[in-house]
Homo-oligomer: A and B are copies of this chain.
Amino acid sequence: MSPPIVFYDIPSTLPNKSWSPNTLKTKYALNFKNIPFKIVWVEYPDIERVSKEIGAPPTSNKPDGRPHYTLPMIHDPSTGAVISDSSNIAAYLDATYPDTPRLLPEGTFGLFRAFEAAASALLTPVYPWALPASHSFLNPPSQDYFRSTREKSLGKTLEALVPTGEEGAAAWANFKAGFGKMDEWVRASGTGATYFMDKTPSYADIWIAGYVLWLKLVLPDKWEDMKTWHDGRWATLLRNMEKYEGVPE
């Protein structure tokens, strides 16, 4: 049997520790494909050092131009590969483990990339709530790092981000409308469709489920509203994905 994949995740004080939408996508993907893995927990201030140690490339540039290292990343001892960015990891797993369930059918990764761009744009209204809420569940070293980097790039305190009153109601309605668009995409895929590719779950569903689980975890009050949206589509999605949330024994 192959040695397990090493999956680098960011811990929190939540029961399962995992909380980041991006690392949740990778955890779902590994379990969906039934690929054994073990988790290495990395606090925010250590991500750059650990990435360099294992030879993971940066995933973007910081506002000042320096390389930006992010989680998730994986190290696959069977191939020696080190991959960062959740969607790159998904593509790697499909290419490297062709005998496991596919995350995306052959030839659809380009359309998935477009889906990712469109869905990302629809998720932006929730960040003013979700960033401060995420911060509150981090461990102290990550809390300090998360607060100082986010406040520097946003130009305000995390607490000042949270929209209230009419502005808050409008932002929340806007966020719900974005999920309404995604609900239309599901429905466009086939009569009685459950997933973005009709009856078959794919990485597009895992991608959204990563965000939905994140919001359920860090914004439980908001989740009470979200879980009723679109005939409970997003609550059903999380229930269907629940079997992929754990860590192999």
Question: Chain B nearest CB: distance from A199 CB in Å?
Answer: 8
How many identical chains are in the complex? Answer: 2
Main secondary structure, interface of A, reads helix
Contact A196 B121 (CB under 8 A): no
State in angstroms the CA–CA spacing of A186 and B111 once bound together. 8
Question: Chain B nearest CB: distance from A118 CB in Å?
Answer: 4
Contact code string A119-163 (vs B, CB < 8 Å = 1, else 0): 101000000000000000000000000000000000000000000
Extra contacts besides A107-B190, A110-B185, A111-B114 (20): CB < 8 Å: A105-B105, A105-B107, A106-B198, A107-B189, A107-B198, A108-B189, A109-B189, A110-B188, A110-B190, A110-B193, A110-B196, A111-B196, A112-B188, A113-B184, A113-B185, A113-B188, A114-B182, A114-B196, A115-B118, A117-B181
Which A residues fall within an 8 A CB radius of B? 91, 105-115, 117-119, 121, 181-182, 184-190, 193, 196-200, 204
